[in-house]
Structure 1
Amino acid sequence: MAATTLSSELFSALHEGLVIPAHPLALDQNRQLDERHQRALTRYYAASGAGGIAIGVHSTQFEIRDEPYNLYEPVLRMAAEEIAKANITRPFLKVAGVCGLTEQAIQETRLAASLGYDAALLSMGGLVDWSEQDVLERTKQIAAIMPVIGFYLQPSVGGRIFSFDFWRQFADIPNVVAIKMAPFNRYQTIDVVRAVCNSSRRDEIALYTGNDDNIINDLLTTYRFEVGGETVEKAVVGGLLGHWAVWTNKAVELLEEIKLARANGEIATEWLTRNVEVTDANAAFFDPAHHFAGCIPGIHEVLRRQGLLQGIWCLNPHETLSPGQREEIDRVYQAYPHLNDDAFVSEHLATWLGDK
């Protein structure tokens, strides 16, 4: 079976820059799938102006693949159904999280393709004993099925450090369409961008931030390198972020404002302050104070307050808010009221929940 590829419309949209939230998992108090709120979340992202969703990813909880849950197919299917029902007129990228050893990753990719997904966000977590060449070979096999978004994940939450040469070879793989950079590290982020700039495929790969600690600065930065005697520039055009799973409508407004600032070539120093505001809010949600232990419950807590989730339950009963995290979320809500989209959610929540 020939690999699927992005349509020209989706390719252009991906390179112009999209808000792609990482879709959470809605559970009830018995830690069973809450289909009503699961579908409401997808409707929220569709209505918010987002340019896509990523589901089956870290924010959806990796345990969805485990017995006795077996929720990987249901959550991907529900999201695809809701996107189809939404009749979205703008380009909208459906991204499926893919992980595991090669056989598992291939099975997940084939399932995602059968459900109409456009690209696979390929996790490289859990492959600590693999050589870089082994990881590259696995990537080639997935890219032979559907477009791949690479994922540089920080070591503190299960990722590993890869060399510049790895990313240089990664960029050369046909059907790699984007890379999500989330090492939370400037040096490693630069490695990825420089590697892509050194590839003949550099114009075929869009760069997306997953650096939740530096979102705005990433999106405002043009990288410039000398490659073969010529100057090559590359920008981080959008974000595929767990952080953008909340306050999504405001994230869409933010990215559009950033695009305008980039086009005008005038970056006001006020953007540096706004970057700190977003990072401070992210710290409350993602819980770096406790090594990110509360990152998923933190996202859930914001969505719970808005009525998009019933509670903060995770499949792992030990995964909950860290001490003081709820108070930190209170603080950033009070400090940065202009960042939340509570009014937008309140206006449409009844419709998303099927009450209207």
Structure 2
Amino acid sequence: MGLHHSQLPSDILANLRKGVVIPAHPLALDANRKFDRRRQRALTRYYVDCGVGGLAVGVHTTQFAIRDVGLYEPVLTAAMEDARAWTDRPLIMIAGLAGRTDQAVQEAKTAVRLGYHAGLLSLAAMKAADPDAIIAHCEAVAAEIPLVGFYLQPAVGGVVLDAEFWRRFASIENVIAIKVAPFNRYRTLDVMRGVALARAENRISLYTGNDDHIVLDLSIPFTVMREGGPVTLRFVGGLLGHWSVWTKRAVELLDRIHAAVAAGDGLPNDLLALDARVTDCNAAFFDVANDFHGCIAGCHEMLRRQGLLEGIWCLDPHEGLSPGQAEELDRVSREHADLSDDAFVAANRERWLS
């Protein structure tokens, strides 16, 4: 038997359930598209100093292709070493898991060996499988590591999954969270219904990955029906590629939302108004106009402009900014300058790069 959630440090589980900012960690490459260890370390230090509650490494934003070039374990190792060397705060370390069952199980074992607390399980490789086979796949991986489910939007390779699937998934005892990222209200509600029907709302923490609705997801209750009565669930935090950029402001935003929800007086209008502004930024970062083709490069470009990355190189030489995307990044940087953390980065960048 692998790692069970009951074996996790109590402060890690408490933070996961309270809700934290977990950025999806990008991959720093040099001009030869080789791993840039120094700038990868700088990114980790940046996220830690922003006050994040965890890091997701080896996920979509880190580029799934790291597996094809022998970088999966080195990149996971780097994030763990650099985070531990930079802070003694408890950070929830989540490893991306991908591929068919044999591969995903091996990646889970690697993650546990390196000290990771949970695995974010991509189901893209199981797209052709039936629900029974997908659940069996999830159970096999959950035998090795606590699982964070992942409803990935179909536009970038996700599988459409109904409420009954999510009921069965939430019934797997070693599932501790779900990243809900179908970019679709109806499918988001399917996850909520599934968790409620499994009576797993106290074990499973819900994290938004809906980059098109970050602020509202975190602000509003989701009430679904179970046996004729209402059950209310909430997103407690976010595990987001969007939050790999302007991360200091993301931490401040989540703190503000948590405080407003706890006060119970309703959400102030100026906070709710941020939903559209953050989504506007995301449209540029994630290259929505071109079906997300430049989503990783867009985040890289924002980090490059801040001096954290040297360039926007991806492992796939065909992956880069789309036509017009740089102009959109210019626009949102200008129109939403108060949502950026440029001054914070400028004040600390040389220390992170040292």
User: Which range, TM-score by smaller chain?
Assistant: over 0.9
Question: Are residue 280 (structure 1) and residue 280 (structure 2) matched?
Answer: yes
User: Which 4+ residue blocks in structure 1 deviate beyond 6 angstroms?
Assistant: none
Give the deviation of 1:201 after TM superposition. 2.1
Which has the higher mean CA deviation after the structures are superposed, 5-14 or 48-57? 5-14
Q: Aligned residue for 2:24?
A: 22
Q: Aligned residue for 1:71?
A: 71
Q: In structure 2, the residue corresponding to 1:113 is in which secondary structure? A: helix
Q: In structure 2, the residue corresponding to 1:33 is in which secondary structure? A: coil
Q: Aligned residue for 1:143?
A: 142
Question: Are residue 48 (structure 1) and residue 50 (structure 2) matched?
Answer: yes
- TM-score w.r.t. the length of structure 2 is 0.97
Give the deviation of 1:229 after TM superposition. 4.3
Q: In structure 2, the residue corresponding to 1:239 is in which secondary structure? A: strand
Output the CA distance in 2 between the equivalents of 1:88 and 1:340. Answer: 27
Question: Are residue 345 (structure 1) and residue 345 (structure 2) matched?
Answer: yes
Which has the higher mean CA deviation after the structures are superposed, 128-137 or 229-238? 229-238
Output the CA distance in 1 between the equivalents of 2:216 and 2:200. Answer: 25
Task: Give the alignment of 1:177-188 within 5 angstroms.
Answer: 177-188=176-187
Q: Aligned residue for 1:325?
A: 325
Query: Residue type of the partner of 2:211?
Result: D
Q: Aligned residue for 1:300?
A: 300
Q: In the TM superposition, what whole-angstrom CA distance separates every residue of 1:323-352 from its partner, at most 9, and x where no partner exists?
A: 010110110011011110011111111111
Task: Give the alignment of 1:45-194 within 5 angstroms.
Answer: 45-66=47-68, 69-89=69-89, 91-194=90-193
The 8 Å contact of residues 57 and 98 in structure 1, kept in 2 or not, is answered as: yes
Output the CA distance in 1 between the equivalents of 2:3 and 2:335. Answer: 48
The 8 Å contact of residues 2 and 109 in structure 2, kept in 1 or not, is answered as: no
Output the CA distance in 2 between the equivalents of 1:58 and 1:216. Answer: 22
Output the CA distance in 1 between the equivalents of 2:135 and 2:151. Answer: 13
Query: Residue type of the partner of 1:50?
Result: V
Query: Residue type of the partner of 2:258?
Result: K
Query: Residue type of the partner of 2:128?
Result: D
- Where structure 1 has 5 or more consecutive residues not aligned to the other structure, the ranges are none
Give the deviation of 1:126 after TM superposition. 2.5
Task: Give the alignment of 1:163-242 within 5 angstroms.
Answer: 163-242=162-241
Q: In structure 2, the residue corresponding to 1:126 is in which secondary structure? A: helix
Aligned residues: 351
- Where structure 2 has 5 or more consecutive residues not aligned to the other structure, the ranges are none
Q: In structure 1, the residue corresponding to 2:126 is in which secondary structure? A: coil
Output the CA distance in 2 between the equivalents of 1:97 and 1:339. Answer: 28
Output the CA distance in 1 between the equivalents of 2:339 and 2:310. Answer: 22
- TM-score w.r.t. the length of structure 1 is 0.97
Identity between Structure 1 and Structure 2 (%) = 52
The 8 Å contact of residues 46 and 88 in structure 1, kept in 2 or not, is answered as: no
Q: In the TM superposition, what whole-angstrom CA distance separates every residue of 1:15-63 from its partner, at most 9, and x where no partner exists?
A: 1111000000000001111111011111111111000000100001111
Output the CA distance in 2 between the equivalents of 1:232 and 1:304. Answer: 44
Which has the higher mean CA deviation after the structures are superposed, 122-131 or 177-186? 122-131
Q: In the TM superposition, what whole-angstrom CA distance separates every residue of 1:56-89 from its partner, at most 9, and x where no partner exists?
A: 00001111000xx210010000000011101232
Query: Residue type of the partner of 2:38?
Result: R
